[in-house]
Amino acid sequence: MNAATQRKGATRAADIPADVLHALSHGELQSATLAEGLALDQARLLRTVFPQLSRHTVQRTDAACQFGILKRMAGIGAALLEELGNDGITQCQGHASDTVRGWACFMIGSQAGLSLPRRLAAIRPLADDAHFGVREWAWMAIRPHLAEDLDDAIAHLTKWTTEPSERLRRFASEALRPRGVWCAHIAAFKQQPERALPVLSPLRADLSVYVQDSVANWLNDAGKDRPDWVRELCAQWLQGHPTAATHRICQRALRNLK
């Protein structure tokens, strides 16, 4: 499978070679681009990874596959959790396919009765996953729980801003963006972005471009509703002798504000 193993990854679904799509849909290959992750056949992947699922669960997951990608992932995650329980999370989390590990994210998101600290502890390895897609599913899967109790979420994610892993530091910012991609907005942060400063301020000079981009995008989101607040915050951050990282964050944060 030369095309599948030595590819750069297609950026359009139409450009994905048939053997690559087959390998992706059978859990033999990780996606290299967003286009690949969106194009693979999740119904086929599910049957390959879990051939013994009940008819009821297969019907539920097939129905979920008719929706957009976020509802698809969430629907599959909820159905798998109902049938397989926590053992299913372990199975999915250890799978070679990034999409299957993404199902684990949404299984954790679907667990009832978990405190926020326990949910964050469960999602942590997936938030620190080596694959870009899994890391995105991780924050999307638990974002509704974070939005339910923002004060608690801020308190816990502030601790993540000092983690050695840039992936976890980015999660702290990205999971709380006022206008997150593919998910519901957080109205409270659109109105009062200053509430998130305990998370944002420790990251204002982060050396990781991966983290810098998230912080800048957070502020760019906030600028759509509170442009003056974003301008004032960046002016404060740029006082004295700011680092090159802070300059970069502020420049990107203000890119749509004149």
- Residue 167's CATH number: 1.25.40.290
The contacts of residue 139 (CB under 8 Å, 6+ apart) are: 127, 171, 174, 175, 180
237 falls within a domain? yes
Q: Are residues 255 and 183 in the same domain?
A: yes
Q: Are residues 249 and 156 in the same domain?
A: yes
| pLDDT above 50: residue 5 | no
pTM for the full predicted model: 0.93
Alpha carbon 229 to its chain's center: 26
Contact 48, 58 (CB under 8 A): no
Domain boundary among 115, 148, 181: 148
The whole-number pLDDT of residue 1 equals 40
Q: Are residues 153 and 119 in the same domain?
A: no
Please list the alpha-helical segments (H only) found in 175-224. Answer: 187-191, 197-200, 209-223
Write the pLDDT tens digit of every residue in 127-146.
Answer: 999 999 999 999 999 999 99
Tell me which residue range forms the domain holding 166: 149-258
Residue 164: exposure state from Cβ atoms within 10 A (0-12, 13-18, ≥19): exposed
Structurally, the chain folds into a number of domains equal to: 2
Q: Are residues 144 and 224 in the same domain?
A: no
Q: Are residues 153 and 254 in the same domain?
A: yes
| pLDDT above 90: residue 6 | no
Q: Are residues 144 and 164 in the same domain?
A: no
| pLDDT above 70: residue 3 | no
Amino acid, single-letter form, for residue 92: C
* Cα–Cα distance measured from residue 194 to residue 48, given in angstroms and rounded to the nearest whole number: 47
Amino acid, single-letter form, for residue 199: V
